[in-house]
């Protein structure tokens, strides 16, 4: 079983709120004028950022009155995007306390704190009552959770019957030695990658019906190619970005992840399931 401390150590920044505030000032914005579009570069911590989020949500039938669960919300960028676009109430949970505190501050800056609540919880044993939510999603979290059977049965428990659950995770595509560190793990022993088939089996055994699986590997490689071209043209990355989260480890983690994807050892996959 993966040690919870290993997971939170991977993501701990130490001074994240301050780092984001400083970068916002460099953008020429204030905490009153910053928008969720400005924040997307840092608060959507998954391959493809906002573009990938929109692609996933186009396949989920959430409606306006739904109360949605964000499993492993990080800073809550996806939760704010969903609340802003669909007017949903969203509750996000995450193991990393610093992300929860920082994410709640970000929600108040963009005045979405009434719709979005982020709280410190382990996805493997959530405090919510059965059937509390009308839908759920999880982006780039399963790579940190070895016990997928327990994870999905816990998500299933807190969803009402008929609810959609959208997953967008980095998954194992074929055997091969992976380069580390990557954004979710410093080394192989703290990475819990599984194949799409293993995800689908765990989802089905937890009580979900899986309707779709999409390999987003090519999209991922195109996304990083464009990002690199943009950064080169601008003489470096913008003030706010994933480098704000991962600091000096960013180039090595991104390079290894891209190399692993290019070798087809791993790829981000979407899976759409329904309780």
Residue 81 sits in the site that holds ligand SAM (CB under 6 A): no
Residue 270 sits in the site that holds ligand SAM (CB under 6 A): no
Position with the least CB separation from ligand SAM: 74
Query: Which residue from 23, 84, 96, 173 is in contact with ligand SAM, where contact means CB under 6 A?
Result: 96
Query: Which residue from 123, 203, 240, 254 is in contact with ligand SAM, where contact means CB under 6 A?
Result: 123
Q: In angstroms, give the least distance from the CB of 235 to ligand SAM.
A: 27
Residue 44 sits in the site that holds ligand SAM (CB under 6 A): yes
Specify the residue, 77 or 135, whose C-beta has the smaller distance to ligand SAM.
77
Residue 167 sits in the site that holds ligand SAM (CB under 6 A): no
Query: Which residue from 81, 184, 199, 269 is in contact with ligand SAM, where contact means CB under 6 A?
Result: 184
- DSSP assignment of the chain, as one string? ---HHHHHHHH--SSHHHHHHHHHHHTT--TTT--HHHHHHHH--STTHHHHHHHHHTT----TT-EEEEET-TT-HHHHHHHHHH--EEEEEES-HHHHHHHHHHHHHTT-TTTEEEEE--TTS--PPTT-EEEEEEES-GGG-S-HHHHHHHHHHHEEEEEEEEEEEEEE-S--PPPS-BTTBSSGGG-----HHHHHHHHHHTT-EEEEEEE-HHHHHHHHHHHHHHHHHTTS--SSSHHHHHGGGHHHHHHHHHHHHHTTSEEEEEEEEE-
Query: Which residue from 16, 41, 74, 270 is in contact with ligand SAM, where contact means CB under 6 A?
Result: 74
Residues that bind ligand SAM (CB under 6 A): 7, 11, 44-46, 72-74, 77-78, 93-96, 99, 122-124, 139-141, 144-145, 184
């Amino acid at each position: 079983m993966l040690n919870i401390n290993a997971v939170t150590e991977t993501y701990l920044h130490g001074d994240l709120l301050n780092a984001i505030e400083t970068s916002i000032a460099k953008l020429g914005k204030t905490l009153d004028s910053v928008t969720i579009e400005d924040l997307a570069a840092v608060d959507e911590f998954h391959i493809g950022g906002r573009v990938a989020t929109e692609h996933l949500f186009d396949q989920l039938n959430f409606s306006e009155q739904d109360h949605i669960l964000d499993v492993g919300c990080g800073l809550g960028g996806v939760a704010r995007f969903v609340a802003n676009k669909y007017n949903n109430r969203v509750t996000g949970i995450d193991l990393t306390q610093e992300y929860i505190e920082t994410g709640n501050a970000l929600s108040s800056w963009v005045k979405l704190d009434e719709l979005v609540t982020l709280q410190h919880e382990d996805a493997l044993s959530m405090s919510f009552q059965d059937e509390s939510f009308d839908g759920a999603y999880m982006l780039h979290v399963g790579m940190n959770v070895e016990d997928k059977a327990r994870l999905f049965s816990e998500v299933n428990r807190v969803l009402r019957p008929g609810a959609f659950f959208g997953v967008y995770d980095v998954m194992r595509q074929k055997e091969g030695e992976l380069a580390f560190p990557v954004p979710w793990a410093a080394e192989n022993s703290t990475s819990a990658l599984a194949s799409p088939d293993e995800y689908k089996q765990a989802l089905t055994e937890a009580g979900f019906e899986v309707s779709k699986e999409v390999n987003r590997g090519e999209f991922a490689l195109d996304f990083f190619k464009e990002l690199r071209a943009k950064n080169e043209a601008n003489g470096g990355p913008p003030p706010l970005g994933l480098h704000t989260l991962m600091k000096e480890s960013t180039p090595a983690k991104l390079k290894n992840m891209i190399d692993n994807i290019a070798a087809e050892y791993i790829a981000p996959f979407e899976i759409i399931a329904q309780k």
